[in-house]
Amino acid sequence: MSNITGDRLKVHIFGQSHSKAIGVTIEGLPAGLCIDMDRLYAFMERRAPGRSALTTARREADKPEFISGLADGRTCGAPLTCVIWNQDARSGDYSDIRDMPRPGHADYTAYVKYNGFNDIAGGGQFSGRLTAPLCVAGGIAIQLLEKEGVRICSHILSISDIRDTPYELMGPFPDVSSKALPVINDDVIDKMRMRIEEAGKDLDSVGGIIECAVEGVRAGLGDPMFDGIENRIAGAVFGIPAVKGIEFGRGFEAAYLRGSENNDEFCLENGTVRTLSNNHGGILGGISSGMPIVFRTAFKPTPSIARPQKSVSLSRMEEGILKIKGRHDPCIVTRALPCVESAAAIVTADLLL
Amino acid sequence: MSNITGDRLKVHIFGQSHSKAIGVTIEGLPAGLCIDMDRLYAFMERRAPGRSALTTARREADKPEFISGLADGRTCGAPLTCVIWNQDARSGDYSDIRDMPRPGHADYTAYVKYNGFNDIAGGGQFSGRLTAPLCVAGGIAIQLLEKEGVRICSHILSISDIRDTPYELMGPFPDVSSKALPVINDDVIDKMRMRIEEAGKDLDSVGGIIECAVEGVRAGLGDPMFDGIENRIAGAVFGIPAVKGIEFGRGFEAAYLRGSENNDEFCLENGTVRTLSNNHGGILGGISSGMPIVFRTAFKPTPSIARPQKSVSLSRMEEGILKIKGRHDPCIVTRALPCVESAAAIVTADLLL
Amino acid sequence: MSNITGDRLKVHIFGQSHSKAIGVTIEGLPAGLCIDMDRLYAFMERRAPGRSALTTARREADKPEFISGLADGRTCGAPLTCVIWNQDARSGDYSDIRDMPRPGHADYTAYVKYNGFNDIAGGGQFSGRLTAPLCVAGGIAIQLLEKEGVRICSHILSISDIRDTPYELMGPFPDVSSKALPVINDDVIDKMRMRIEEAGKDLDSVGGIIECAVEGVRAGLGDPMFDGIENRIAGAVFGIPAVKGIEFGRGFEAAYLRGSENNDEFCLENGTVRTLSNNHGGILGGISSGMPIVFRTAFKPTPSIARPQKSVSLSRMEEGILKIKGRHDPCIVTRALPCVESAAAIVTADLLL
Amino acid sequence: MSNITGDRLKVHIFGQSHSKAIGVTIEGLPAGLCIDMDRLYAFMERRAPGRSALTTARREADKPEFISGLADGRTCGAPLTCVIWNQDARSGDYSDIRDMPRPGHADYTAYVKYNGFNDIAGGGQFSGRLTAPLCVAGGIAIQLLEKEGVRICSHILSISDIRDTPYELMGPFPDVSSKALPVINDDVIDKMRMRIEEAGKDLDSVGGIIECAVEGVRAGLGDPMFDGIENRIAGAVFGIPAVKGIEFGRGFEAAYLRGSENNDEFCLENGTVRTLSNNHGGILGGISSGMPIVFRTAFKPTPSIARPQKSVSLSRMEEGILKIKGRHDPCIVTRALPCVESAAAIVTADLLL
């Protein structure tokens, strides 16, 4: 199946871009948890569209409504279900693409898998909008993790060819979440903004890379082989639309290093075993080492572009030209940070429960 | 848990480097399958050590013995269990590391997780040796896939800084599996070999990248969100020791492209919908597009190096110097190709069943 | 975890008796299915309270609202989520039992498991009300099964000591679903009714047994050992509150038979292998034989009775007397038939998908 | 799939009656556990055939060989795999039934499911012999549980119409495991033995009921709805061949009681909440109450009987008479007690981990 992730903390996402509602059911939360709703809304606001000139003008109320799982304002052990009502859905925009699949989207693959019955409006269940309930689960998991001394943060490592300062793998990991463009080096903000605006003017789009860190996970969590932390985070992160790659610690760069460069030697720090460097990104043999977990996620450029593109009429089985209408983000990376943090938070909370 | 992967085709791996045996139980194979044992042995031989001067001298008989799941030489519907007996195990080599964890290995994380009861000999359950039963499952899955017109291949994309010609994402994908160093461009063979030998002489090691392609998967397989093909392949591939990154299609490179460059336009080819390019690597929305599935996997350099390294005595909680004895591959990438192919095959067979 | 059942057809139930809503998310339904809403409502009406003088007066609107998973009135491959809003919830009735657990209920066990944060109102997540979303899933599964020639039916085998005519295990299985008391032998209706009314007058309750049959399942479905049809149906049926036993075919009675009596000999019927009797209840080795699947489920008497009962004050840790207020069914068996059918339907649909 | 049960403690059974070996892989055991092998053998001996004149003469060495998961004689966190080699396998006995399915066996259903490729020898994977690895897992789980103060026991409640004294549901539960016929009331031993011998002389067989108790499980374990303790135990117990029914606490009898009779009132006992009776069998809402868990399991009579039976030739599709050769237990109930205990132990250990 598809929309469930997690083991002890199970997150089950439902909805389509233009269904009545989207939402999430979360099982396994400890009973008695008091969710700080203001913080949750603030977290979700970070992925909301329409925050700046850089994102789509579609407005979403996106206020999550909790319909089960709470009693007297606290989690009660029952599955926590939250729905977000779809408003401002302009289905009329999507009539053309029902016949001609959009390049870079799941229109064609869904058409084949679901025998043409897939919901095409707004991308249906493949829409980036489904990351809103992911962020509900993630935002709650983050609140849970904080009680355990775990902190999650992320920044935009790159948009197009403009590159932020990467994290020091040993930390510290500056909190840049309140910036409109969450980067470490403010000097790149204007350049990134320009790349996005240029792409928008060219009826085009750009991609980018998000770097995420999880601090404060104690050593010894996770499992070997197919249930390692890398496997689990990858399994969650590839659930975010447009992700095409993930790497941990030094990642692909490690393939160019020698063992003596890449190995992280052990030392003692205040009576605790630590490593002198963190090329391993906090995970050895699938299990946490106590060092920060750091990973990078590659996002392809938004596939929705206003330029005419070649496609095929599925009804007439002939080639043609598709022109996608509507407003679309020329870059979704700026909104994807809380999604990546959510994926990491859900997995980490699952390990800790 | 940890050692089980797959849904309809379940692969369950067991064993440690120096336990009596290692092995695998495979559930979900169709009944009536006749396994070509010679081809299976030949496939496994590709990951066996001791094939050339480039790999460790430890000899493994590694003949898989099928102890259940067959009747009259065919699969009978019952779980197929295969064991490989551990011979030539020199436990004496591993006495030091019981106290001082090896940098880059899971010694320390396993020590914490298992309260010091982890099997340290040869790396225990974290040993690369556990990829032998993975290849049993993978080799059988490959035979199953061939009947469905699916072919899996891989090549070494890079070792250290020496880079092979990458795959054309549209194919064709030349079969280089019989080469001692499976690369497309023979000109890089000597250079790669030199990098490995240099590293060996320096008591050091090198990493590399493997590129893998799955051809012939029909459109419409896979699932959205957390059960997409990317999620599943990543979930299996990170089960191979030393993997630190994975990317699909253009992968991280896509983050630097514009949408108009990265989108793969649709066309008709003999009445079938295809794409004009394959930057998406055969997967859109987690579902196969009918185009080849292509992904790259980054391997860190072998953590076992003979150089003295800083570590910590866990019994005395004091820093010290560790010198790893024994023979170790200065590069495991050359042996990892069938492992990556196996991970891809197991996932693909699971989708097709 | 707890509220998910099924493999290919996953049913995930959420909600509490007095949460804003209860509901269900169903994954794995084939795309393109047109749900007959009138028939679904009619099916659900069979478990609704307030239908007759025999059941509680609490009225439930219980109109399921589908908030995702449909496009143009058909399933679209996305998870189907349906909510039922809780109205007429009188939380005031439940103040006493927060401190004194009701005998026969999950009040105390939930109190321990959830550290006192369990939702006590109306029984919270343990309420029989949660069988309404089960019936949504079941009602849809039944519509799916009918297209495959599978039919599910049930009758009240007994209420207290009043016993209906049991099914002939070979069939036919008369459809009695439209009767107010769904029994085969109308002569027992008045007696059963009297047992229920007597119990009500005595501020007491009665239990009973439901017999269910699944006709038209082809041979060869299911799996051996832990995933047999018996295991699966039992796993679903014990999800219904108050169920304390299940048996298949001749069930417990078979323990008193000889092999020569209990074995069902094979014969040919119109070129198909059948059995001459059906003591095995349609399942051999966990796999369907093509004969009707027949099972019986024991329901304990409603634990909510108005009589004073001994209990313990959890806050003061002292013994005391509890008197449960509110209106309660003296017998829930009459409303449980569609719940049992739903459990059977969900499992059978899972097997067929 | 089929042969895996459990969540945190996963038990994966493999093998066929006449494959090279049968066995089990157990994941999730705590590291550092020292298995008392003598006690394990003694436990397994209770299910071994050939112990008395009442069981089949086939001798099984059945010494489990642990091939992975141990280091220095203790569990090391890696999956524990144990094999039992099949000796004394007389495949020649099973030639006839390949064509004519045996009534009451899975021969026909497996034939359909596996397209005729099922292993027919000795019943293949459906053989009662597969309960030997179940008992390996169960025997280890029992040792684990004892450290947590949990004790599991069982007795034969009935064979044919001869009935032992049932357990007092509140306990105590006498240990009768060392008796050749484990019953509470020794007066029934001779009568039960006679029933078995009579059946054997008549070329027939008898069934029976086993009652099992789990003492010492603390309150608050388990989960609601589909993952309740009843669901889990039923899911494991129906994995034992010949089981056709299960009931908890008062079980089917509760259907004949009034609420005031069946409800278990709460009291205080040394400051602990207890119930005054245990009709609920230790489980309320799927969660343990702290009272003993008691359940009964119905076994049908051994389907292998030497009498001629009607069957169908699958190759010629014509009816005929089958005569089963070989030696078979006229009653398997006497050997099934450790199997039932194992199922209960595996589930209970899973809850406690």
Q: Spell out the residues 6+ positions from residue C131 whose beta carbon is closer than 8 angstroms to its own.
A: C47, C240, C241, C336, C339, C342
Mutate to test the interface with C, among D221, D238, D352 (most CBs of C within 10 A): D238
- Quote the pLDDT of residue A57: 46
φ, ψ of residue A265 in degrees (nearest 5): -70, 150
- pLDDT confidence tier of residue B57, bands split at 50, 70 and 90: very low
Mutate to test the interface with A, among C3, C8, C67 (most CBs of A within 10 A): C67
Q: How far, in Å, CA of C345 to CA of B295, rounded?
A: 41
> Which positions 11-30 of B are in contact with D (Cβ < 8 Å)?
12-16, 19-23, 25, 27-28
- Token digits for C342? 């739903």
What residues of chain C lie within 8 A of the CB of A95, using their CB? none
Chain C touched by A118 (CB under 8 Å): yes
10 Å CB burial of residue A170 (0-12, 13-18, 19+) is middle
DSSP assignment string, D128-176: GGGHHHHHHHHHHHHHHHHHTT-EEEEEEEEETTEEPPPPPTT------
Contact yes or no for D249/D278 (Cβ under 8 A): yes
Average pLDDT over residues C100-127: 96
A117 → closest Cβ in C13, C14, C31 = C31
Is the pLDDT score of A319 beyond 60? yes
- pLDDT confidence tier of residue B11, bands split at 50, 70 and 90: very high
pLDDT digits (tens, 9 = 90+) for D307-348: 999 999 999 999 999 999 877 889 999 999 999 999 999 999
Lowest mean pLDDT, pick from A39-43, A95-99, C275-279, D174-178: A95-99
DSSP A29: P
- pLDDT confidence tier of residue B58, bands split at 50, 70 and 90: very low
Q: How far, in Å, CA of D229 to CA of C117, rounded?
A: 21
> Which positions 237-266 of A are in contact with B (Cβ < 8 Å)?
238-239, 241, 243-252, 254-266
- pLDDT confidence tier of residue D98, bands split at 50, 70 and 90: confident
Which structural domain, as residue segments, surrounds residue C86? 4-352
Sign of the dihedral defined by the CA atoms of residues A36, A38, A43, A49, in that order: positive
- Quote the pLDDT of residue D100: 96
Chain B touched by A350 (CB under 8 Å): no
pLDDT digits (tens, 9 = 90+) for D69-82: 999 999 999 999 99
Chain D touched by B63 (CB under 8 Å): no
Amino acid symbol at B113: K
What residue spans of chain D are helical by DSSP H? 37-45, 107-113, 131-147, 189-201, 229-237, 259-262, 333-352
Average pLDDT over residues C279-306: 98
- Quote the pLDDT of residue B92: 63
> Which positions 83-102 of C are in contact with A (Cβ < 8 Å)?
83
Label the pairing between strands B272-275 and B4-5: unpaired
C1 → closest Cβ in D126, D223, D266 = D223
Q: Do D5 and C226 touch (CB under 8 A)?
A: yes
- Quote the pLDDT of residue B2: 85
Q: Do C71 and A125 touch (CB under 8 A)?
A: no
CA distance B110 to chain D (A): 9
Q: Do C125 and A78 touch (CB under 8 A)?
A: yes
C99 three-state secondary structure: coil
Contact yes or no for A55/A194 (Cβ under 8 A): no
Q: How far, in Å, CA of C163 to CA of C143, rounded?
A: 30
- Quote the pLDDT of residue A88: 58
State the Cα torsion B249-B255-B261-B263 to the nearest 10°: 60
**pTM attached to this predicted model:** 0.97
CA distance D53 to chain C (A): 19
10 Å CB burial of residue A36 (0-12, 13-18, 19+) is middle
Q: Do B14 and D119 touch (CB under 8 A)?
A: no
Chain A touched by B319 (CB under 8 Å): yes
pLDDT digits (tens, 9 = 90+) for D259-283: 999 999 999 999 999 999 999 999 9
Is the pLDDT score of D90 beyond 80? no
Q: How far, in Å, CA of A20 to CA of A25, rounded?
A: 16
Is the pLDDT score of B51 beyond 90? no
- Token digits for B150? 């699916």
CATH number at residue A310: 3.60.150.10
φ, ψ of residue D62 in degrees (nearest 5): 55, 25
What residues of chain C lie within 8 A of the CB of D108, using their CB? 219, 266, 273, 284, 289
Radius of gyration of chain B (CA): 21
Q: Do C120 and A71 touch (CB under 8 A)?
A: yes
What residues of chain B lie within 8 A of the CB of D2, using their CB? 27, 79
Q: If you measure CA to CA, which chain C residue comes closest to A115?
A: C31
Mutate to test the interface with B, among D4, D13, D68, D74 (most CBs of B within 10 A): D68
- Quote the pLDDT of residue D72: 93
- Quote the pLDDT of residue C57: 46
What residues of chain B lie within 8 A of the CB of D8, using their CB? 1
Alpha-carbon distances, residue B111 vs A265, A331, B127, D199, D346 (angstroms) = 16, 44, 15, 57, 26
- Token digits for C345? 């339907």
- pLDDT confidence tier of residue A51, bands split at 50, 70 and 90: low
Half-sphere exposure of B295 (CA within 13 A, CB side): 30
Average pLDDT over residues A335-349: 98
- pLDDT confidence tier of residue B61, bands split at 50, 70 and 90: low
Residues linked to residue A10 through DSSP beta bridges, in sequence order: A27
- Quote the pLDDT of residue A93: 59
A109 → closest Cβ in B103, B289, B309 = B289
Is the pLDDT score of C89 beyond 60? no
- Quote the pLDDT of residue B54: 53
10 Å CB burial of residue D353 (0-12, 13-18, 19+) is middle
Contact yes or no for C262/C249 (Cβ under 8 A): no
Q: How far, in Å, CA of A280 to CA of A283, rounded?
A: 6
What residues of chain A lie within 8 A of the CB of B161, using their CB? 256
Number of domains making up chain A? 1
Chain D touched by C321 (CB under 8 Å): no
- Quote the pLDDT of residue C67: 97
Q: How far, in Å, CA of A111 to CA of C71, rounded?
A: 13
Mutate to test the interface with A, among B24, B230, B266 (most CBs of A within 10 A): B266
Is the pLDDT score of D212 beyond 90? yes
What residues of chain A lie within 8 A of the CB of C31, using their CB? 113-115, 117-118
pLDDT digits (tens, 9 = 90+) for C174-230: 999 999 899 999 999 999 999 999 999 999 999 999 999 999 999 999 999 999 999
Q: If you measure CA to CA, which chain D residue comes closest to C220?
A: D113
D262 → closest Cβ in C104, C125, C310 = C104
- pLDDT confidence tier of residue D55, bands split at 50, 70 and 90: low
Is the pLDDT score of B55 beyond 90? no
- Counting as contact any 3 or more CB pairs under 8 A, the partners of D are B, C
Q: Spell out the residues 6+ positions from residue C86 whose beta carbon is closer than 8 angstroms to its own.
A: C15, C17, C18, C19, C20, C21, C22, C129
* pLDDT mean across residues, chain D: 94
pLDDT digits (tens, 9 = 90+) for B184-236: 999 999 999 999 999 999 999 999 999 999 999 999 999 999 999 999 999 99
- Quote the pLDDT of residue D144: 98
A314 three-state secondary structure: coil
Chain D touched by C300 (CB under 8 Å): yes
Tell me which residue of A3, D227, A133 sits closest to C28, measured CA to CA: A3
Strand order in the sheet with C21-27: C4-5, C10-14, C21-27, C80-85, C65-68
Inter-chain contacts counted by CB atoms under 8 A, chains A and C: 172
Q: If you measure CA to CA, which chain C residue comes closest to A123?
A: C78
B45 three-state secondary structure: helix
Helices B131-147 & B333-352, crossing angle to 10 degrees?
A: 50
Chain D touched by C201 (CB under 8 Å): no
Q: Do B255 and A304 touch (CB under 8 A)?
A: no
- Quote the pLDDT of residue C236: 98
Average pLDDT over residues C86-93: 66
Higher pLDDT, C92 or D259: D259
pLDDT digits (tens, 9 = 90+) for A6-27: 999 999 999 999 999 999 999 9
Q: ipTM of the assembly?
A: 0.96
Chain D touched by B189 (CB under 8 Å): no
Average pLDDT over residues D130-158: 98
D266 → closest Cβ in C103, C208, C267 = C103
Higher pLDDT, A49 or C337: C337
Chain D touched by C126 (CB under 8 Å): yes
Q: How far, in Å, CA of D336 to CA of D210, rounded?
A: 8
Is the pLDDT score of C110 beyond 90? yes
Q: If you measure CA to CA, which chain B residue comes closest to D121?
A: B71
Residues linked to residue B214 through DSSP beta bridges, in sequence order: B152, B293
Q: If you measure CA to CA, which chain D residue comes closest to C126?
A: D285
Q: Spell out the residues 6+ positions from residue B108 whose beta carbon is closer than 8 angstroms to its own.
A: A219, A266, A273, A284, A289, B101, B314
A119 → closest Cβ in C15, C28, C71 = C71
pLDDT digits (tens, 9 = 90+) for C27-61: 999 999 999 999 999 999 999 875 555 555 445 46
What residues of chain A lie within 8 A of the CB of B25, using their CB? none
Q: Spell out the residues 6+ positions from residue C107 whose beta carbon is closer than 8 angstroms to its own.
A: C97, C101, C118, C120, C123
Q: Do A69 and C14 touch (CB under 8 A)?
A: yes
Is the pLDDT score of C95 beyond 80? no
C229 three-state secondary structure: helix
**Exposure letters A112-147 (e unless 16+ CB within 10 A, then b):** bbbeebbbbbbbbbbbbbbbbbbbbbbbbbbbbbee
φ, ψ of residue C112 in degrees (nearest 5): -70, -50
Chain C touched by A64 (CB under 8 Å): no
